Structure 1
Amino acid sequence: MSARDHIAAGFGWREHPGDGPVLVALHGIGSEARAFDPLAAALPGWRMIAWEVPGYGPTEALPIDWPTARDYAAALKAFLDARGLDRVHLLGHSLGTLIGAAFAKDHPDRVATLTLASCAQGGGAAPGHLPEKQAARLDDLQRLGASEFARTRAPRLVFQPETHPDLVAKVNAAMAKIKLPGYAQAVRMLASGNLSADCAALAVPTVVVVGAEDVVTPPEQSNAAHAALPDAHRGALTLIPGAGHALHQQAPAALAEAILDHAAKGVTP
C-alpha cells in the first residue's frame, strides 16, 4: 500500500503502512511530512507516521505565541494518544530533534528508541526574547514571501546542490509551503530551545546522525548533543559523508541503516 495523508482532530500526518515497528518522524522548521518519503522507502515493512508539526500543513497552530519545545511535545503526546500509539521509535530531524528530545525527556516510557538527525541546538533564549539570528528569519519571510524565501534558502540544505537539482526542487517546494503563525511559533521555539540540556536528562536509548557536509546545523551541534547524553543511554554518533542538512532526503539509506541498527540493539552499549 502507498502512503496516505490524514487529517483528524486538528492534526495532519502522512502514513506509510507496514506490519513492523512504528517510527514516528518529526520534520524540520522549513519542511513537511512528505520529506520523509525516501526514508520510508528505505525501511520496508516499517509503519512510518510522519507528523505535520503544529502550524504546518493541516495541523493546527499551537494556542500560544511563544511556545517551547515542551509545548510541542505535549501536542505530540496528544497526537499519539489519539492514534492509540503507546510506545514508538521516534525520529527528529533538525527542529524535530528539539521536539523529540523534549518528548522523550517527559515520557521515556513512550519511546523505544530515539534518533536525533541533523541536530538543532536551539538558542537557549528566554521565551519572549527573539535573538537577532532568529528575528532575521521572520523578517526575511515577511519581506520576501514564502516562495522567494524558499528559493534563497533551499540550496543550503543539500550538499552540492548544483548536481542535485531534483532534490533542491523538492526541498524548495516543501519550504515554500511555510505559513504564519506556524513558522513564527517554530522560530520562537528554536530561539528558546536547549537540546543539550534535554539530552542530558534523557533516559531512553538515543543515537545521533548528521551529514558531514551539513552547513545549516553543522556536525559540531550534533557532537554537542551526543556528548550531553548520559553514558547509560548514549548510542552511536554517525557522520554520513556526502550528505548535507536534508539528510533524510539526500542519504535516506544511510539514515535507515542507523535506525535499523539502533532498533536491533534495543539498548545502548
Structure 2
Amino acid sequence: MLHATDITAVHPTAELEQQLANRLPQLTLALPDGPQAVRECGKGAAIVLLHGIGSGAASWLEVALQLSQHARVVAWDAPGYGDSIPLAQIRPTAQDYAERLCQVLDALGIEQCVLVGHSLGALTATAFAQTHPARVSRLVLISPARGYGAPTRDLQRAQVRKKRLDALEQLGIEQMAAQRSAHMLSPRPSPKALEWVRWNMSRLNTGGYRQAVELLCGDDLLRYSPLSMPCEVHCGEADTITAPQDCLTLAKALNANFNLIPDAGHASPIEQPLLVAGRLAHALMESMKGDAQ
C-alpha cells in the first residue's frame, strides 16, 4: 500500500496537475475558425503568456499562479495545441498566429496587455506587437527563437526542418518528450521541473507541432521590427537552445533591455517560476507607470 508521502515519488506532476485543474482552469472559446483553448486566473491588468514549440499553456502554471495576485493572467494553447483548432495554412507565418491571438483577445474583452512570448511564442508575440501596437503596453520575450526565415539562413532552415520532422516521424511525441526534456533545462534541474517539461511536451498534437515547425523554419522575428512599445528580453544563463549570446543579439536589434535568468536553461518558466514571475510582475508595474504618464 502506498503512503501519502509516496504519491509525489510515483507521480511527480500530481500536485501540479491538480493545481492546473483547480487554479488555472481551461476555457474553450468559440472563435470563427473553431475552438480555441486558453487558461485564465486572477483579476486586474491583463498579461498574456505564449508558450514555445514543445510546450503548452500548462507550462506557465506556477508563473501564472504567482502573477494572479497582481493581474489577470491568460495563457493560450497555440493553434494546433491542446484543444485549439489548427490554423488553415499548411505553412503559417507568425502573422497568421498573431491574427488568431487578436481573435482571442477580442473574445476575452482584452483591449491592451503586457504580452509575453517564450521561445517560438516570441515570434507570434513580436508579430502581434508590430501589427497591433495599441494593444501591447509592453513586450517581454523569454529565450526568444528568431526563426530561420531570413535568406541568409537557408542551410540552417533545411537542416532544422529535416531534423525536427524526422524526429517526429521516427520517435513520435512520447519518445520525443522523453529524449528532449533534459535539453530544455539547466545541467542540474529538479526532478519536478524535468517531469513537468516532459509532461507538457508529451501532450503535443502532431498536426499542430508540424505547423509550428513550419513557423520556426519559415519566418524571422526581426521581420517584425522595429517596435513602438518598450521591449525586454530574458534568457536562462544555461540555455543551450536559444543561447544567451543569440538572445543578446536579438535584444540589441530590438533596442530591448537584456537580462539573464540564473540557474535556468531554456524552460525557465518551469525551472525558475518565482524568478520569472517576479520579472513579469515588474514588467507589468512598468507598463502601468507608462499608462499613468
Q: How does the TM-score come out when normalised to structure 1?
A: 0.91
Structure 1: how far apart are the matches of 2:219 and 2:193?
29
Structure 1 window deviating more from structure 2 (238-247 vs 39-48): it is: 39-48
Matched, 1:205 2:230: yes
Q: Which residue of 2 aligns with 1:114?
A: 139
Structure 1 residue 38, shift from structure 2 partner: 1.0
Matched, 1:239 2:266: no
Among 153, 156, 164, the residue aligned to 2:180 = 153
Q: Which of the numbers 6, 11, 24 marks the counterpart of 1:3?
A: 24
**How far apart, CA to CA, are the structure 1 residues paired with 2:230 and 2:200?**
31
Considering fraction of residues, name the structure with more helix: 2
**Partner of residue 262, structure 1:** 283
Greater displacement, 220-229 / 150-159:
220-229
How far residue 125 of structure 1 moved from its aligned partner, in angstroms, is 5.0
**Aligned match for 1:175, one of 159, 184, 201:** 201
Contact 2:239–2:266 at 8 Å: present in 1 too? yes
Residues of 2 paired with 1:38 and 1:60: CA distance? 25
User: What is the aligned partner in structure 2 of residue 82 from structure 1?
Assistant: 107
Shift of residue 107, structure 1, vs aligned partner:
0.4
SS at match of 2:174: helix
- Residue 264 of structure 1: how far off its partner (Å): 2.2
Q: Secondary structure at the match of 2:23?
A: coil
**Residue in structure 2 matched with residue 187 of structure 1 by the alignment:** 213
Show structure 1 runs of 5+ residues with no match: none
Which blocks of at least 5 consecutive residues in structure 2 are unaligned?
1-21
After TM superposition, the structure 1 = structure 2 runs for residues 50-61 of structure 1, keeping only pairs within 5 Å, are 50-61=75-86
Q: Aligned residue pairs: how many?
A: 259
RMSD: 1.8
Question: Which of 122, 135, 138 is 2:165 aligned to?
Answer: 138
| 2:43–2:73 contact (8 Å) kept in structure 1 | no
SS in structure 1 at match of 2:263: coil
Matched with 1:37 is 61
Report whether the alignment pairs 1:225 with 2:250: yes
- List structure 1 segments (4+ residues) > 6 angstroms apart after TM superposition: none
**Paired AA for residue 245 in structure 1:** H
The CA distance in 2 between the partners of 1:149 and 1:114, in whole Å, is 31
The TM-score, its normalising length taken from structure 2, stands at 0.84
Distance 2:107 2:283 in 1: 27
Identity, in percent, stands at: 35
Corresponding position of 1:19: 43
- More deviation in 246-255 or 256-265? 256-265
| C-alpha separation in 2, matches of 1:117 and 1:193 | 18
Counterpart check, 1:70 vs 2:108: no
Please say which of residues 255-264 and 102-111 is displaced more in the overlay. 255-264
* Equivalent position of 1:95 in the other structure: 120
2-side partners of 1:171 and 1:52: how far apart?
15
* Maintained 8 Å contact 2:46/2:72: yes
Rounded to whole Å, the distance in 2 between the matches of 1:197 and 1:68 is 11
Instruction: Give the equivalent residue in structure 1 for 2:18.
Output: none
**Partner amino acid for 1:250?**
E
Q: Which residue of 2 aligns with 1:249?
A: 270
Q: Any conservation in 2 of the 1:5–1:13 contact (CA below 8 Å)?
A: yes
Superposed displacement of residue 79, structure 1: 1.1
CA distance in 1, matches of 2:243, 2:164: 18
**Distance in 1, Cα, partners of 2:65 & 2:112:** 22
Distance in 2 separating the partners of 1:218 and 1:209: 11
C-alpha separation in 1, matches of 2:283 and 2:198: 31
Structure 1: distance between partners of 2:169 and 2:149: 24
